[in-house]
Amino acid sequence: MTDRSFRFTHAISRRPSASITDGLRAVDVGTPDLSLFERHHADYVAALRETGAEVVLLDPLEAYPDAVFVEDTALCLPEGAIIMRPGAPSRLGEAAEMAPHLRQLYREVREISGADAYIEGGDILTTEREILVGRSARTNAAGIAELQSLVADWGYQLREVITPEGVLHFKTDCSLLDGQTVLATERLAASGCFDGYAVIHTAPGEEAAANTIRFNDLVLMPAGFPQTRDRLVQAGYAVREIGNSEAAKLDGGMSCLSLRFSPGA
């Protein structure tokens, strides 16, 4: 077994724009504060860089309030990148904004192009052995089918899983910790989608801690979830807590804020 599911040479992140106040949200729990969001984002990028990776930091995109959540625009695999078709109409144009940056780093970039195909990166979890894709309000059957056809010749077989009702993305409720271990909410793990993996559950009441990222030697997790943090530390992970209060107002977590990859690995 290799560890290519969590070892990365590169990441791409985008600074939040002033238009972040218009970002999508399921429930309005307050307007995000741009300067605090910028500070959290800077801490996040610094932590990625600390692991030795090259982080491409893109300028804010005022025209797209949710553009800071770059993860939804692409799926990055060692063999190439796939440009997504976000299911939120206000976010569709973000994918074309990301494509040129990936073309600079990858030899092969493919695109989801079907007019009725929708898929967002937040619904895709790539593990050591497979790619899990959750159907959701943002990701439909046509999007999943087109993704499958685009990655088949690279040797990938997708597994369709369920994004729990009322949860934005599949990865809102889970994240990969290493080649065989995931962090997941109990409500998601109960679906059986992680049978065969070791599962660490978020602590009761701390479901919002599930969206972390394993990035090289660090696990970045949102600050404010001490019981889940302790579970990860006890399991031996090097945890870095990052302020996430402003992204959380827009249903965002750690994975949404970057694309992580090793082109040609």
Q: Whole-number minimum distance, CB 199 to ligand CIR, in Å?
A: 20
Q: How far is the CB of 4 from ligand CIR (least distance, A)?
A: 21
CA distances in angstroms from 231 to 47, 201, 206, 226, listed in the order given:
21, 8, 12, 9
Sign of the four-CA dihedral 99, 212, 162, 261: positive
Active site residue 256: yes
Nearest approach in angstroms of CB 107 to ligand CIR is 26
Residues of the chain by 3-state class (helix, strand, coil), percent to 5: 30, 25, 45
Annotated binding-site residue? 24: yes
Phi/psi at 182 (5° precision): -125, 155
Question: Where on the chain is the footprint of ligand CIR (CB under 6 A)?
Answer: 23-25, 66, 69, 71-72, 88, 91, 121-122, 168-169, 172, 250-252, 255-256
- Whichever of 81 and 168 has its CB closer to ligand CIR, that residue is 168
Neighbours of 36 (CB within 10 A): 13
172 versus 244: smaller Cβ distance to ligand CIR: 172
Question: 71 labelled as ligand-binding?
Answer: yes
- Please tell me the distance from the alpha carbon of residue 60 to that of residue 238, in angstroms, as a whole number: 30
Catalytic pick from 169, 174, 193, 201? 169
CA distance 210 to 217: 18
Write down the least CB distance from residue 90 to ligand CIR, Å.
8
How buried is residue 245: exposed, middle or buried, by Cβ count under 10 Å (0-12/13-18/19+)? middle
Residue 108 or 160 having the CB closest to ligand CIR: 160
Catalytic residue among 76, 174, 193, 256: 256
Residue 91 marked as a ligand binder = yes
Annotated binding-site residue numbers for substrate? 24, 66, 71-72, 91, 138, 250
Q: Which residues are catalytic?
A: 169, 256
Annotated binding-site residue numbers? 24, 66, 71-72, 91, 138, 250
